[in-house]
Structure 1
Amino acid sequence: MSAPSQRPAPRHFSMLRGFHLADFFTLGNAAFGMASVLLAMQFLATGRTRHFLLAAAMTPIALVFDVLDGRIARWRQQHSALGRELDSLADIVSFGVGPAALGFAAGLSGGWDAAILLYFVCCGVSRLARFNVTAETLSQGSDKVAYFEGTPIPTSVVLVGVLAFAACQGRIGDALYGGSWLLGPWRLHPLALLFALSGTLMVSKTLRIPKL
């Protein structure tokens, strides 16, 4: 009798075997970023400030996982194209979509506000794509890039901090700092301009920040 043929391992198990320890921390980053989005939606449904503050708290936790995954990868000397792509995808959820969703939940829901939030997320996507393409050149032969072109997308944690502080002061919704302006057919909350500034700094090619 011929020996029974071995079945190939299911694809999902094969993929998991290709993960390094750092990659699971990267997935933790993405998970907390998505939790921020869901809690922001929960705040819109319930109006409870604690849901908003919990949503804001997810971003710095995601940042901790983002820092740890890089350090673990360098410690274990395990770098891969998969890990780099995972990191970028996780970052856009945690530090792009998450802060934008929180901004919308905070009251940045006018037409101009929405356009700025879309611009902010698109800048984040563009910045991460550019980083992935130029990372090898910027690393100058080492396993770590020497500097960032434009501000790193995790700097959006500052925006989240501003929104969390506003929520603690009861200054979200109709009471947002700066009020709102009617410009043409749509409303603009001046606070949304912080997202415009953040997005613009992310895609700047003239701004170079040393990577610590």
Structure 2
Amino acid sequence: MKKSTVLSRFNEYSLSKKASTRNGLLFLAAFTFLVALVFIYATRIIQDAKNTIIVVDRGSGELLKSNVTYYNKLMISLIKNHCANTAYYLNSFDRYTLDQNMAKGLFLVNRPDAQKIFKKYKDQRGYGDALELGYVYQTEMVEVLELNTDKEPYKVRFKSILQIYEDHKVITRYTIVSDGEIRRSAAQWPENQNGLYFTSYEQTYQPLKIDENE
């Protein structure tokens, strides 16, 4: 093979290789540019979605946007719901729900403080009356008295009404005032859906008069 032919073919190979490299670089640059455009577009979509998320206040039915002000409203709503659940499960029971409600209460309140409340009902024959006499203890939160959501732990004071039934008739009624500190934790379905937890909790009781017509 002639030397001129070899050189010609070598030059053709070099030019082809350079063109291939150039085309590869152009493709890589174009691909990188497209990825960047997709990333920017996706980021804008996510940001727009965050700005248009709608949350419904379970208490008032009000539509809440996901910004700081409305986040605080949402947190207040969740805390109120947590307080209501705590008051109910720690202080509501009958012969059929006693063990179940005690177990659920431990998902909402730290164990030592919950055990103090359980001990009080045991020592004062609350559990005994429910199991042996069929009494029904029913508690409902009625009002949040104080609430600070500036920072964790969230400090809260709320009032509940405990009614004790015998044969479907109210025989005793108490006001329960609860004080506690709440922190956020991992949600535990279905016992603690809000992911809130009382790290400290105590409650006091005040007897209420019974209307004879009830």
The TM-score normalised by the length of structure 2 is 0.30
Q: Highest CA radius of gyration, 1 or 2?
A: 2
The TM-score normalised by the length of structure 1 is 0.30
Normalized per residue, the structure richer in helix is 1
